[in-house]
Amino acid sequence: MTRTIVRFLEAGTTSTARWGVQHGSRITPLPVQAHTTGELLASHWDALWHVDDSRATLPLDAVQLLAPVTQNQQFICQGINYRSHVIESGLRVEDFPFNTLFTKASSCITAADAPVARPPHVRLLDYEIELGLVLRQDLPQHTVVQPNDLGRWLAGVTIVNDLSARDVQLPQGQFYKGKSYRGFGPTGPGLVLLTAQEWKRWPDLHMRLSVNGELRQDAYCAEMIHAPAATLSELSALQSLHAGDLIATGTPAGCAVRAPGKAVMFVMRHFMSDATKWRLFVRKGASNPAYLQPGDRISASIRTDDGAIDLGEQTTAIVAP
């Protein structure tokens, strides 16, 4: 069975963050000293699976949940990794046979229920629900990861909302800059550890994101173009990966950003300067009510339809700076 790991502060205290195993509405605190997600997974892996639920004495509502991925870990992302999102972006799937990779600043990682301030200069704030993969151990250089061997290298999964300032990311061509403002990486509420058999069910995970109760994104992880095993293999040949590092695997259709129609795209491509094109993009986007505004509330969940694997729910409020 799955095991949900949480990181928390006890309400009303200023104590050091602690780790625990969630059992329904209660938590079993772990008697371990681990300052980072990597340290917890690398040094206490077996202990995480041998926690007695009879010791779950701490009520969930008596703690403040923190992100289960600590800010020292690498935050790696896949872009345009869902067919539906490629199409809604005005692109063709066949034009992207390669895996699009970028990073977010780890300082943007925040709790699943923490409010997120929209920066004063940002007007086109967008949401992206994503399945987050968390490394169980360091991944050696040039490792070829097989689909049936995910549990050897990955600890578990979590919900990530890849918040994005489109009026920075796209006109400036700055994925890192447009996606790395503080708070732009709600993660959690927990890190759900999976068994080898459960890892085979990652395509069955059903992602849903709503804004103010309106369903915006609704898709299964099976729609991924570049699956976890292939992505891990490619990354291992590219860079070092360590226990606790986070990989966000892309988002499906339903984002606020929309590609203009084909006729408009033709005119923009052939008869407008880049400066004019992006000025019109921002002006048009300002009238799109789907972009996030202060006062909006986001709800995001990922689970299998039978409930056997459930990553919980994020509830993020967008606030004024």
> What are the structural domains of the chain?
3-66 (no CATH), 75-319 (3.90.850.10)
Q: Rounded mean pLDDT of 181-190?
A: 98
Q: In whole angstroms, give the CA distance from residue 290 to residue 288.
A: 5
In 3D space, the residue among 68, 60, 156, 49 whose CA is nearest the CA of residue 112 turns out to be 68
Band of residue 52 on the pLDDT scale cut at 50, 70, 90: confident
- Which two structure tokens, joined as six digits, stand for 119? 């920066």
Q: In whole angstroms, give the CA distance from residue 20 to residue 22.
A: 6
Residue whose token pair is 């600890």? 155
What is the chain's alpha carbon radius of gyration, rounded to the nearest angstrom? Answer: 20
203 close to 222: Cβ distance less than 8 angstroms:
yes
Q: Which residues contact 19 (CB under 8 A, 6 or more apart)?
A: 5, 6, 7, 8, 29, 30, 32, 34, 40
Q: pLDDT over 90 for what percent of the chain?
A: 82
Report the predicted TM-score, pTM, of the whole model to 2 decimal places.
Answer: 0.94
Q: In whole angstroms, give the CA distance from residue 256 to residue 166.
A: 9
- Which two structure tokens, joined as six digits, stand for 53? 């639920």
Q: Which of 13-17, 47-51, 212-216 has the highest mean pLDDT?
A: 212-216
- 63 compared with 12, residue with greater pLDDT: 63
Which pLDDT tens digit goes with each residue over 66-107?
999 999 999 999 999 999 988 887 788 888 889 999 999 999
184 close to 104: Cβ distance less than 8 angstroms:
yes
1 close to 21: Cβ distance less than 8 angstroms:
no
Q: In whole angstroms, give the CA distance from residue 243 to residue 131.
A: 17
In 3D space, the residue among 149, 157, 228, 243 whose CA is nearest the CA of residue 196 turns out to be 149
What pLDDT does 272 receive? 59
- Which two structure tokens, joined as six digits, stand for 87? 């199409």
Judged against a pLDDT cut of 60, whether residue 261 lies above it is answered with: no
Give me the chain's average pLDDT, please: 93
Type of residue found at 294:
P
CA distances (Å), 2 to each of 175, 198, 233, in order?
33, 8, 25
Q: Which residues contact 137 (CB under 8 A, 6 or more apart)?
A: 41, 42, 153, 243
